[in-house]
């Protein structure tokens, strides 16, 4: 099979982590949640723009959405479900699970599920931990998800990274001992360890042809569906700059923002896309 036909031979999962630029973990040392109410949100307009792009390219997606966003931008939540996309939880306030107690994690997830379901009128069965913050120190989060009625999670990234990742955890969709289905972010297995190819900063950093080559290699090597993630702020080249953030955080966050929308359109055209619950339905249900 040629590379040109490889991506469209099967459908893959498009996912969006719906958060604003000031929510990200990279800026948590300089922007407190207490500051959020004084900052003008941009996530609403950016998410509407993404939905427009998805409509133009025939894409359905899963939107892992913060409860904070549902509270402040309910019109976005309603549009997501009205236009046939999947709504899922990204927690409430984008605080990493590894920084919270078990009780606080439970409350964060409960609040997010409640407000998303109340705003949308639909059940929420999927969850993604902020910054993929489930690891060997807090596997009890999976028990909480099962107790709350979630069917699947996409909260693990089997790579070595300074903020997240468990390199020796499974690379492909699997049912965990707690009873929930986990859908890891895709990685490309190499001699020196797994390499991240799931989207986000990696996708902005590399030229599109290289990202596509890596995705196609994953498809050829694994025979698994691919899932891609990114954020609404990544298509917002005019977002305010957080000047007092650490240099490494600023580099990661701002690199190639101006090129992201064009790359995203190419990605949508080169592969077929749907939601997580559709692509992995045989595993989830």
Instruction: Provide the pLDDT for residue 32.
Output: 92
CB 148 within 8 A of CB 110: yes
Instruction: Provide the pLDDT for residue 137.
Output: 94
Residues in the chain: 285
Cα separation, 205 vs 256, whole angstroms: 7
Cα distances from 97 to residues 105, 146, 153, 156, in angstroms, run: 6, 16, 14, 12
Say how many C-beta atoms besides its own lie within 10 A of residue 170's C-beta. 12
Could you say which DSSP state residue 36 is in? G
Instruction: Provide the pLDDT for residue 194.
Output: 87
Which tokens hold the place of 27?
A: 């800026």
Name 182's bridge partners: 153, 174
Instruction: Provide the pLDDT for residue 163.
Output: 67
Cα separation, 137 vs 119, whole angstroms: 33
Instruction: Provide the pLDDT for residue 101.
Output: 97
Fold topology of 9-284: TIM Barrel (3.20.20)
Which tokens hold the place of 170?
A: 């499974």
Q: Please report, for the chain, the start and end positions of each structural domain, with discontinuous segments joined by +.
A: 9-284
Structure confidence by residue, pLDDT tens digits, 28-63: 999 999 999 999 999 999 999 999 999 999 999 999
72 CA to centre of own chain: 20
Handedness of CA 82, 84, 89, 92 (dihedral sign): negative
Residues of the chain with pLDDT under 70: 1-7, 161-165
CB 50 within 8 A of CB 38: no
Cα atoms found within 13 Å of the Cα of residue 116, Cβ hemisphere only: 28
Region of 179 please: left (phi>0), alpha (psi -120 to 50) or beta. Answer: left
Which tokens hold the place of 277?
A: 């619950």
Structure confidence by residue, pLDDT tens digits, 202-242: 899 999 999 999 999 999 999 999 999 999 999 999 999 99
CB 105 within 8 A of CB 141: yes
Helix residue spans in the chain (DSSP H): 3-6, 43-56, 67-72, 74-82, 102-120, 140-147, 200-205, 208-222, 247-254, 257-270, 276-279, 281-284
Task: Find where tokens 């969709």 sit.
Answer: 173
CB 224 within 8 A of CB 172: yes
Those residues with Cβ within 8 angstroms of residue 163's Cβ, 6 or more apart along the chain or in another chain: 25, 131
Which tokens hold the place of 247?
A: 């240099």
Instruction: Provide the pLDDT for residue 161.
Output: 67
Instruction: Report pTM.
Output: 0.95
Cα separation, 110 vs 91, whole angstroms: 8
């Amino acid at each position: 099979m040629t590379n040109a036909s490889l991506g469209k031979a099967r459908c893959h999962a498009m996912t969006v982590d719906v958060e604003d630029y000031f929510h990200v973990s990279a800026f948590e040392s300089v922007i407190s949640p207490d500051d959020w109410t004084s900052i003008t949100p941009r996530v609403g307009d950016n998410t509407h723009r993404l939905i427009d792009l998805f409509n133009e390219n025939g894409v359905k997606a899963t939107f892992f959405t913060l409860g904070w966003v549902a509270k402040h931008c309910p019109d976005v939540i309603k549009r997501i479900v009205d236009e046939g996309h999947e709504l899922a939880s990204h927690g409430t306030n984008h605080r990493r699970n590894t920084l919270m107690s078990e009780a606080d994690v439970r409350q964060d997830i409960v609040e997010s599920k409640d407000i998303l379901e109340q705003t949308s009128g639909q059940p929420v069965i999927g969850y993604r931990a902020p910054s993929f913050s489930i690891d060997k120190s807090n596997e009890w989060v999976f028990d909480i998800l099962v107790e709350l009625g979630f069917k699947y999670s996409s909260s693990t990234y089997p790579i070595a990274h300074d903020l997240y990742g468990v390199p020796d955890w499974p690379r492909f969709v699997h049912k965990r001992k707690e009873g929930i289905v986990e859908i890891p972010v895709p990685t490309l297995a190499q001699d020196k360890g797994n390499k991240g190819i799931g989207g986000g900063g990696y996708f902005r950093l590399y030229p599109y042809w290289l990202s596509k080559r890596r995705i196609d290699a994953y498809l050829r090597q694994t025979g698994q569906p691919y899932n891609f993630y990114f954020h609404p702020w990544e298509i917002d080249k005019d977002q305010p700059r957080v000047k007092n953030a650490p240099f490494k955080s600023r580099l990661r966050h701002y690199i190639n923002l101006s090129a992201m929308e064009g790359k995203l359109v190419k990605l949508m055209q080169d592969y077929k896309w749907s939601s997580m619950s559709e692509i992995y339905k045989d595993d989830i249900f």
